[in-house]
Structure 1
Amino acid sequence: MGIVDNDFHKILTERHSVRRFDPTIKISRDEMNEMLEETITAPSACNLQAWKFVVVDTDEGKKKLHQYFMNFNFPQIDNSSAVVLFFGNTLAYKKYSELWHSMYEAKKVTKEAMEAALNTFMPLYEKAPQEMLVADSMVDSSLAAMQFMLIAREHGYETNAMAGYDAKKAAVVMGLDPKQYVPVMAIAIGKHDPKAESEITTTRYPLTDLVDYE
C-alpha cells in the first residue's frame, strides 16, 4: 500500500492502541520490509543499532506466540495482520567494526573519525557488564518500537504494543539465543475491525504533574 498519510501531527496525536483487528487484512512482506527500513532510521546508543525484529505473520508463527503470551492478548495476535517482536541484541557490538568500515568505504566518514569511534566505543562494549548491554539494547529497541508504531500509521495501519508474555520463554520459542536476545516489546499491526466497537480513548495526566523546569 505504501505511505497514505504524511500529516505528522495527526499521526502522532491520533495514535491509540487498537485491540480489535480486521482478520481479513494482510500486509505484504514487501510493505512490512518497507516499514522496517524506515524503522531502523531510529536513533541508537553510539549508532550500535542493538535491535532484532521477528515478524510473525503466519498461523504457525502465531501458534508459537500462544505458548508464552497471556490469554488476554490472543485476540490481537490471532486477528492482526502481523505481530512484530522487538528484541534487544546484547552482542550488537561484535559487528560494530564492520559497520564503521562500511561507512568509511562509502565515504560517509573519514578514517580518523572511524578510528576515533572504534577506539572510544569498542573497548567500552567489549568490557561492559551484561547489565549495561541489556540496558542499552532495550533502550535502542524501545526507540525503534515507538518509531515503528508511528510509521504504521503513516502506512494506514493501527498498532497495539504488548508486554503481556513470559519473557523467559520469548527468545527460545522464537528460535533465538536467550543469552543474546532480550525481549523488549511485541507490536500487533493491522486495521481496526469495522464491525467492532470503538476503541477506548485514554486520558493523559496533566503536564504540570509530569514536568519540572530548573
Structure 2
Amino acid sequence: MNHQEATTQSYEYLEEVGLVRQARSRIQTLSNGQQQKIHLGLTFIADPELLILDEPTRGFDPVNQGLFREYLQRHLQRGATLLLVTNQMHEVEELTENVLFLRKGRRFFFGSKLSAKAKLGERCTEVTYTGQLPPSIDAWNVDVREPGRLVLRQTHGLQEANRLLDSLLDAGVNVTDFSTRMANFDEIFKDIYNDSAMTDSLVA
C-alpha cells in the first residue's frame, strides 16, 4: 500500500474498534486489550490473500477473541487462505477445513476435519436412565460410570449405538437421555499426544 492507502485503512480500523482517539499514542501506553486490537489490525490490514497465524489468540480476552474471529471470517469469505498453527482445538472446529497433525516432527495425519474424526476418533455413546438394568446388559461392553449413567466402551458405529438403545427400551428401562457422537478434536488431540512430549499441531 502507499502511504495514503495505509493511513486511510488504519483510521477506518481504529474507528471500528474504538481506538481512533489513541491513533497517535505510543503503543506502550495502551492497555493490553488495546494493544491486542492493534496487533489484529496489523494482521488484517491490506486484505492479505494468505494469512499465516501462529496461535493468534494466545492471551486474548474473550472480547478480542470474538473480534479476531469476526475479522478472520470476513477475510476468509473474501477468499483468503488461512494457515493456522494452534493447540486450541475449538479454533480447528470453527476456522479450518483441513487438518495436519505433527507428532515428533513428522506428519501423523493430514486430511479434512471429517476424515480426521472418522479415522482418528471413536464414537462415544452415553445413556442416562432410571430403574434397573436388565441382565442382558452383560452382553454389552458398557461402563456404569455412576448410578443412572452408562457408557458404551467398545469401538462401535451408529447402528450398534441404536441397538443398545432399543435393547434398553425393550427391557423397560426408562431412558432419560441418549447421546451418541464422534470424538471431538480435544479428545482426538489427547489421544494423539497423550504419550508424546511433542505437542505440535499445524492446522490449515
| TM-score interval for Structure 1 and Structure 2 normalised by the shorter chain | under 0.3
Structure with bigger strand share is: 2
- TM-score by length of structure 1 reads 0.24
Whose relative contact order is higher, 1 or 2, with alpha carbons under 8 Å and at least 6 apart?
Answer: 1
TM (norm. structure 2) is 0.24
Mark the structure with the bigger radius of gyration. Answer: 2
